[in-house]
A and B are shown apart, each in its own frame.
Chain A
């Protein structure tokens, strides 16, 4: 069964936001990421992977959010069978976000890695067969 394992915050100051979740909720920092699409910190409570990210471009954030958006940005599900879930997403009006994948440099013709979709209510949803760091629960 798919598991909700990832949540991302579009942060004004990822250092400050990550510090907040580490100090208040004892979350552990796994790593810092600094790519062409975003800078931020990846945290974990042992079960859920929380990313505090500052998107560098509107395309990487998704045009509907833009790089200036602040708040909860997307969630991610770890799935066992990526093609099967993609099929269900497509047949239930989920929309592949190839625009964001391209902005983040994710290969669009592979079922490895992490893929972005849009679901109902404008919620952005990542799919991953490999999951996220330190999400053992």
Chain B
């Protein structure tokens, strides 16, 4: 069964926001990410992977949000089969976000492999799909 394991916040100050969730809710920092497309911190409560990200371009944030957006940005489900879930998603009105993948420098090639794939769902909600899931424990190898 699919499991909601990932939530991402788009922040203009990822350090301050990550500190907030660590200080107030005791979340643990798993790692810091700094790429040409985004900077931020990956946190966990032991089950949910919470990413606090400062997107550096409108394309990777999705043009409907833009890099300046602050707030809840997307959610992610770990699924048994990305291909099968992608099919169900498209049958029910979802669409693959090739534009965002391209912003990350990923050449659209359909749902092949074990990566993370972005889809648009109802109510403008961006949904990640992943078979391998997201890191949720400090003892796990980075996923």
- Interface residues, chain A, with chain B CB atoms under 8 Å away: 1-4, 7, 9-13, 16-17, 19-20, 23-27, 45-48, 50, 70-75, 77, 79, 85, 88-89, 92-94, 119-123, 137
Contact = CB atoms under 8 A, between A and B. Distances in A.
Nearest to A64: B71
Given A12-B122, A45-B4, 10 more contacts: A1-B25, A1-B26, A3-B47, A4-B48, A7-B4, A45-B1, A70-B123, A71-B125, A88-B23, A121-B9
A9 B127 CA distance: 12
B101 to A, nearest CB: 19
Contacts of B16: 120
20 contacts: A1-B46, A2-B27, A2-B45, A4-B45, A4-B47, A4-B48, A7-B4, A7-B72, A26-B1, A26-B2, A45-B4, A48-B4, A71-B124, A77-B25, A85-B24, A89-B24, A119-B20, A121-B9, A121-B12, A123-B71
| 7 cross-chain pairs, A with B, having the tightest CB-CB distances, nearest first | A72-B72, A25-B2, A121-B70, A2-B25, A70-B123, A48-B4, A88-B24
Contacts of A12: 122-123
A17 B9 contact: no
Given A17-B123, A47-B47, A24 B4 contact: no
A10 B122 CA distance: 10
Contacts of A71: 72, 123-125
A120 B26 contact: no
A31 to B, nearest CB: 18
Nearest to A79: B25
Contact of B24 (A17, A26, A75, A94): A94
Nearest to B1: A26
Interface residues of B, number: 43
B122 A47 contact: no
Contacts of A72: 71-75, 125
A57 B56 CA distance: 34
Contacts of B26: 1-2
